[in-house]
């Protein structure tokens, strides 16, 4: 039996442990059932569940970082954008690549798709293309996620 402070109270009967937990208005929780004798701990179970759910939501926070490009992007600028995408993915975030078309550029969307193919080739390593490049109105978007 383990106390709220982490101090060991020793081996005792379940009824005695329940009495101690009720006196302190706390819960008796079985921590390790597979050992002989089983290990129990006195704690506030509601508070424990709240802290556990809070930790899980903090770990799952993934941001989507956006990178904007143009169809006529140069090789050097594209390399810089890929470097930023790789940094976002290494930090555990998703990256959304958006290409905007101005004016008459929209009549040649295949040039934009070639740029997205270059990005896919330059990005090697641990990533997934969550959403393939897709033409929506006057822009093409692609979402990349870390593995």
50 shares a domain with 74: no
80 shares a domain with 46: no
CATH number at residue 18: 3.10.20.80
CATH number at residue 100: 3.30.110.10
How many angstroms separate the CA atoms of 6 and 80, rounded?
A: 52
pLDDT computed for residue 83 by the predictor: 94
15-50 per-position pLDDT tens digit = 999 999 999 999 999 988 888 888 999 999 999 899
The pTM assigned to this predicted structure is: 0.60
How many angstroms separate the CA atoms of 15 and 12, rounded?
A: 8
* Band (60; pLDDT cuts 50, 70, 90): low
Question: CB atoms < 10 A from the CB of 28, how many?
Answer: 17
* Count of structural domains within the chain: 2
Tell me whether residue 96 is in a domain: yes
* Band (92; pLDDT cuts 50, 70, 90): confident
39-43 and 64-69 beta bridge pairing: unpaired
39 shares a domain with 91: no
pLDDT computed for residue 58 by the predictor: 74
Tell me whether residue 6 is in a domain: no
pLDDT above 90 covers what percent of the chain?
59
The token pair that represents 102 in the structure block: 């101005």
78 with 114: CB under 8 angstroms? no
């Amino acid at each position: 039996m383990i106390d709220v402070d982490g101090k060991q109270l020793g081996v005792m009967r379940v009824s005695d442990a329940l009495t101690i937990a009720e006196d302190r208005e706390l819960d008796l929780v079985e921590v390790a059932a597979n050992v002989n004798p089983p290990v129990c701990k006195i704690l506030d179970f509601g508070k424990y569940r709240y802290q556990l759910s809070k930790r899980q939501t903090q770990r799952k926070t993934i941001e989507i970082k956006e990178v904007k490009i143009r169809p006529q992007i140069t090789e050097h600028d594209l390399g810089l954008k890929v470097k930023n995408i790789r940094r976002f993915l290494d930090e555990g975030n998703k990256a959304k690549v958006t290409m905007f078309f101005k004016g008459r550029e929209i009549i040649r969307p295949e040039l934009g798709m070639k740029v997205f193919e270059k990005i896919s080739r330059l990005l090697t390593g641990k990533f997934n293309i969550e959403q393939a490049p897709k033409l929506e109105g006057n822009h093409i978007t692609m979402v990349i996620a870390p593995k």
